[in-house]
Structure 1
Amino acid sequence: MSEVQFRLLDLNLLRVFDALIEERSVTRAAARLHITPSAVSHALARLRDLFEDQLFVRGPQGMQATPRAAEIGPRLRDGLHQLEMALTPIGFDPQASTRVFTIACSGYICAVLLPELMRRMRTQAPGTKLIVRSFENGVVAALEAGQVDLLVGGFGHVPDRFGSELLFLDAPVWLLGRDYLHPKSELSPDRFARLPRLAGMSSGSAALVEGVVVENGLERRVSLDEHSGVVGVPLGDMDGGPILASIPYSSVAPLIVKHSDMAALLPRRLANLFVQSFDLDIAEPDTELRELEIHSLWHREHGAHAAIVWFRGLLAEVAASL
């Protein structure tokens, strides 16, 4: 881009460019920027003229960046973040702030932490907002670019450029349908030993419910904090294979176990919520399984911002109150 073109460049065009890189959709980029899709399309046309490149073309998975746009994207994100940091006051006043905080976590974390977190945010920082993202591809890059403030979940290897704090520990337990499994008596050890479960779970191998995803050097444990874990074979068919081995939606687990003769493996804190709401029971696993360690994680450069330091502290307070 020539010097003349750069002087003509509107900062809002760069925000549109960044949103299109992230969202890969005109509609989603418009929603993110709180403008109309036609305004995004108009801005894209101006960007194409200025850069003399198509920048984004339609593909099977949405708007795909051209090589030129892919080259510009990471540097532009960093520049926009540095500009934001330069214009943001050093101090942070929660009561006066209108900042939007963004975290990435699983549905399990949302269910356990968000109710109390939102209650405290309404009291201490009533003008702030919270955006929750899932752990989709690119979330680590978004954390590095300052587009996500915190990741919350289980992690393995954490590169030095990230800081982390242990929020709480949790353990897997079996969630049981009370009406199906013991409608007339307490659950005895013998009866629990005959409950349906995934074949091989009695071996005690945590690998059955856990994997690792590596992105940009960060290891994230994909385990019961994102999956409902295990729903096993029906009673009376212990020698057969599981008819439902696992499901990726923890919110579905209580419906399955309440209305069928199965059991699901869930984090205890999540299972406790379902027990209260769905009239279910909890039983301890007959073998020791890996305890879940839930951390908050931030980029050291961005995480030193006063607003994020405050938010990290609030999240830690909520976790400590569980």
Structure 2
Amino acid sequence: MNPIDFSRVDLNLLKVFEALYEEGGAGRAGVRLHLTQSAVSAALARLRVLYADHLFERTGRGLRPTPRALELRPLIAQALDDCRQSLAASAQLSGQASRTLRLGLSDDYEVAIGGRLIQLVAAHMPGLRLIFRQTHSLVVSDMLMSREIDLSLTAGGTTSSTLGREVIGMAGYACVGDSRWLRDGPLPLEEYLRRGHLLVSAQGYVGVVDEALKARGASRRVHASTTHFAALPYLLVGSECIATLPQHAARALARASPLHWTECPLPLPRFAVELGWRKDSVRDAAIQRLKALVRQACEDPVHGLQGGTRAS
């Protein structure tokens, strides 16, 4: 095998690899990179020759990375991150800083603090483009280690020795429903059990409420399930159903929609809110600054994880 002449390797191919890996299709990668689909396909052909592997296999839902591509992903991501950091450092010297960072979080946090975090980033990191990526505690470690995200905000899950974690708050639960049917004052447990429920769950079958009710020898009627808290205004308005969700998301949805929130009558365990990162990012000033802004957004007295009063 002839040795590779690295001086002749087009580093833009690595950006194509990254886009194909994250988008799962040549068409979507092309849109992201402002390239035609045929140009992306041609770049993939060159990557296959360069790495002597097929890299991506076609499935019914797009392109799936091969085992070799899975091995290459963190290495290529690190190389691209190093290049971006060097360019960002150069831009800072010229007063034209520009950077993209990816924050992984579930949409209860995105609904609650996303808007406030965007304001803070615009004020304190004006050269930063922030990307929100959906994640949860079961997959967040893998997403951090594979460099799909730079930081995470989840209810745990960052357990690898290569990851750092910090508990930045504790959160509890509340109920939301159509304001015409859910009034001020405590919701009696009897009415809570009588109402139909919408479940928000990654799996769609059982949640923390069902586990607490089972311990009491009780159950509830779940009419439907969804994976996204942000869908609740569209699913609950006009219905007598209620949903139980983290209180920070309940408050945010009530501020922005016809939903009303109230305390949950069922005692439920509180949970830790964790900020996670790769330990090798401790020297990255932009990531450290974004960590501080995420903490600030979570501590906001109105829009944060602890602030606010019961909606009227």
TM-score normalised by L of structure 1 = 0.74
Shift of 1:73: 3.7
2:261 maps to which residue? 282
Deviations 1:53-73 (A, max 9, x none): 433332223223345444444
1:299 maps to which residue? 278
1:194 maps to which residue? 190
Check whether the contact 1:175–1:280 (CA below 8 A) recurs between aligned residues: yes
- The count of corresponding residues between Structure 1 and Structure 2 is 288
SS of 1:286's equivalent in the other structure is coil
Shift of 1:318: 1.6
1:17-32 matches, cutoff 5 A: 17-32=17-32
SS of 2:221's equivalent in the other structure is coil
2:112 maps to which residue? 112
1:160 maps to which residue? 161
Specify the code of the residue in structure 2 equivalent to 1:8: R
Whole-angstrom distance in 2 between the partners of 1:301 and 1:82: 12
Check whether the contact 1:168–1:294 (CA below 8 A) recurs between aligned residues: yes
Whole-angstrom distance in 2 between the partners of 1:53 and 1:157: 32
Shift of 1:5: 4.7
1:175 maps to which residue? 176
1:236 maps to which residue? none
1:25-44 matches, cutoff 5 A: 25-44=25-44
Alpha carbons of 1:295 and 1:77: their partners in 2 closer, same or farther (altered >3 Å)? same
1:319 maps to which residue? 298
Report the structure number with the largest CA radius of gyration: 1
1:219 maps to which residue? none
SS of 1:159's equivalent in the other structure is coil
1:76 maps to which residue? 76
Q: Percent identity?
A: 27
- The CA RMSD over aligned residues, in Å, is 3.7
SS of 2:160's equivalent in the other structure is coil
2:230 maps to which residue? 251
Shift of 1:143: 2.0
1:132 is aligned to 2:132: yes
Shift of 1:309: 0.7
Alpha carbons of 1:197 and 1:5: their partners in 2 closer, same or farther (altered >3 Å)? farther
1:270 is aligned to 2:271: no
Whole-angstrom distance in 1 between the partners of 2:34 and 2:142: 23
SS of 1:31's equivalent in the other structure is helix
SS of 1:27's equivalent in the other structure is helix
Check whether the contact 1:146–1:302 (CA below 8 A) recurs between aligned residues: no
TM-score normalised by L of structure 2 = 0.76
SS of 1:160's equivalent in the other structure is coil
Check whether the contact 1:27–1:37 (CA below 8 A) recurs between aligned residues: yes
Specify the code of the residue in structure 2 equivalent to 1:162: L
Shift of 1:160: 2.7
Shift of 1:127: 2.6
Alpha carbons of 1:102 and 1:241: their partners in 2 closer, same or farther (altered >3 Å)? closer
Check whether the contact 1:104–1:133 (CA below 8 A) recurs between aligned residues: yes
1:102 maps to which residue? 102
1:172-251 matches, cutoff 5 A: 172-181=173-182, 187=185, 192-197=188-193, 242-244=221-223, 246-251=225-230
